[in-house]
Structure 1
Amino acid sequence: MRLTDDLYGNYELEPVLQELIETKEMQRLKRVHQGGATIFANPKWNTTRFEHSIGTMLCMKMLGQPLDVQIHALLHDVSHTAFSHVVDHVYRLEEENYHELIFKNLIHQSAIPPILQKYELDAAPFMKSPLLEIDCPHLSVDRLDYTLRDMVQYGFIDLLDAHWFLTAVGVVNQQLVIMNMTQAEWFVETFYKQVFDLFLDERNIWAYGKFTSILSLAQQLGIITEQDFLLSDDALFQKLCSCEDATLHASMIELVAGTSEAYDASVKERYLEPVVLENGQLVISTNHSPFLQALQTEARTRYGSYNKVIN
């Protein structure tokens, strides 16, 4: 199998990667939107978990990481439920980690273990890679890919600029590092654009709140169960549409129509302070850039304007 990706270029895949991609568990991600309820706010915001999973794998390949790390990157989102993080809002999980809580069980019950055992790579999905799994304000491959992918696909940045930035990304001492301050500043500014112009777009916040209330009501009425969150987006949505409850139907119509109304929202603060190689030393970018310090101050002010902040 040979893959072509707009961000990372052309790559020949090892047989194990091809077999994993072809499993029904990975193929389901083609019908799971990365932005969850964002799809109701703007149909053009339609990146899938499959595209992102392939992207993180190819980014690891671009960075020269070994095969087990590439496998970990490919599979890291395989347990994301229908409409991604909406389930975290339904169950009020402030860590937004439902997919992580069910990850091991889903892998063990899937077609994935026999493939990995065949290639003696059965531990790969459960490894902890500092390049992929590290919280904000650190830069990770996961965060890098979804930022560039969304911002290019939705027209916020140019693909050539994304390629320019990727020339400055490297790995030093198992850390994801940006090789100069100029490109670090560009990426952090792009990251905050994504947060405030996409994640915290009022239509997006409203859609998340509205869809959360719909799914919560559907569970209370017994129309869906927790297991149904492991369906694809379209399958779960069709199950909601097929019910006969008038209140639920009215809310579904409002959601699809984008009928705006006041809605309380929980907002997660996200900051980014990537490591930069400057004068031969690894430094925290914000500590050495007045521009990034100003961006962070502005971000704190903007977060404070929303209804409720999750720390």
Structure 2
Amino acid sequence: MLLKTYGAPIEEQIAGLIHDVSHTVFSHCTDYISDADSEKEQNCHDKIFDEFVRKSEIPEILKKYNLNLDYILDNKNFPLKEKDLLDLCADRIDYGLRTAIFHKKIKNGKYFINNLLAENKQWVFKDFESAEKYAKLFLNLNTKFWSSLSLTVISRNVGDFLWHALSKNYISKTDLYTTDKIVLEKIKPHIKTDSKLSLLFDKMNNKGSFRNNPKSYDVIVFCKSRVVDPLCLHKGKIKRVSDIDLKWKSIIKQESKPKKYFLEFGR
């Protein structure tokens, strides 16, 4: 809807619509499965996106409407839909506002949407004030939720649980593209007979303590950190928040690094 509202071409709207189709069960928790190797970037879904789409029914649907699959799969064609951090993109705006509303950080997203422009295929706030507010809101969400210690622990525990289930053939990698419920129903019968699985299941359900302890830890865990440096109109020119507020430049330099936690679990 965001892309459509701001006049993106139909190809970009379709690219936005399908951009998350390769997400697995438990979403980014699968970045913590031992062979995923994507804790810091949380991009295991992106790595398989192209292949996933090509093996789905999507190519035939696009062909029916004379739409070019290769063009739609190339993010370079759609800068409103997808850009690397620290830039804004439709996905980042969308999940940022949805998370903020869900956690009651804001009542709705109207203020930010009403202050956004799509200029020369890039997102630009109408003024520094609204850009700064969004940047700080996004940072708060990152600190409190997306890269927090508690969410990192949950992600790691779920990843360990799934990895053990995969290694024991309780589930297959194909199952990861079904639903959370289906995967859990396949694994649960083995909990009573597999003591390690039982322990991992309890940890996954927060039955046990943990703390961040660099001096004595069981495992080092990383988490992707998300921070943005939006563009805005300022004195007749397009500037980044960090160009206007030098303190923000220092903040994003630090906060854009993956979070590193030293997890010690209760005995």
Query: 2 CA distance for matches of 1:294 and 1:96?
Result: 24
2:64 maps to what in 1?
118
* Separation in 1, partners of 2:24, 2:259: 30
Select 2:18's aligned residue among 65, 69, 75.
Answer: 75
Deviations 1:96-144 (A, max 9, x none): 2221222222222222222211211242641321112211111111111
> Which residue in the other structure is 2:162 paired with?
215
Structure 1 range deviating more: 222-231 or 256-265:
256-265
Contact 1:206 1:260 in 2 (8 A): no
Q: Which runs of 4+ in 1 moved over 6 A?
A: 302-305
- Note the aligned Cα RMSD (angstroms): 2.4
Greater relative contact order (CA < 8 Å, ≥ 6 in sequence): 2
Q: CA deviation at 1:235?
A: 1.4
| Residue 209 of structure 2 corresponds to residue 292 of structure 1 | no
| 8 Å contact from structure 2 (residues 161, 204) kept in 1 | no
1:18-37 to 2 correspondences below 5 Å: none
Q: 1:74 to 1:187 in 2, by over 3 A?
A: same
Deviation string, structure 1 residues 222-277 (Cα, Å, up to 9, x no partner): 22222221121221222221224222023213322443224632132333111111
User: Is residue 271 from structure 1 mapped to residue 227 from structure 2 by the alignment?
Assistant: yes
Name the amino acid aligned to 1:85.
Answer: H
Aligned-partner SS, 2:27: coil
Aligned to 1:137: 86
Q: Aligned pair in 2 of structure 1 residues 195, 116: CA closer, same or farther (>3 Å)? A: same
Structure 2 residue corresponding to 1:249, chosen from 153, 175, 198: 198
Q: 1:102 to 1:294 in 2, by over 3 A?
A: closer
Take 1:303 and 1:105, find their aligned partners in 2: how far apart are those partners?
27
> Quick one: structure 1 residues 151 and 83, their matched pair in 2 at CA, closer, same or farther if it must change by over 3 Å?
same
Identity among equivalent positions (%) equals 25
1:188·1:292 contact (CA, 8 Å) conserved in 2?
A: no
Among 88, 92, 111, the residue aligned to 1:164: 111
Asked if structure 1 preserves the Cα contact closer than 8 Å seen for 2:149 and 2:261, the reply is no
- Match for 1:119: what amino acid? Y
* 1:226 has 2:169 as partner: no
2:8 to 62, 65, 77: 65
Conserved 8 A contact 1:76-1:125: no
2:215 maps to none
- 2:146/2:225 contact within 8 Å kept: no
Query: Displacement of 1:211 after TM fit?
Result: 1.3
Question: How many residues were matched structurally?
Answer: 248
Paired with 2:174 and 2:88, the residues of 1 have a C-alpha distance of 33
The alignment status of 1:155 with 2:81, answered yes or no, reads no
Aligned residue identity for 2:243: N
Provide Cα deviations, 1:33-74, integer angstroms capped at 9, x if missing partner.
xxxxxxxxxxxxxxxxxxxxxxxxx10011111111110000
Structure 2: unaligned runs, 5 residues or longer: 212-218
> Normalised by the size of structure 2, how large is the TM-score?
0.84
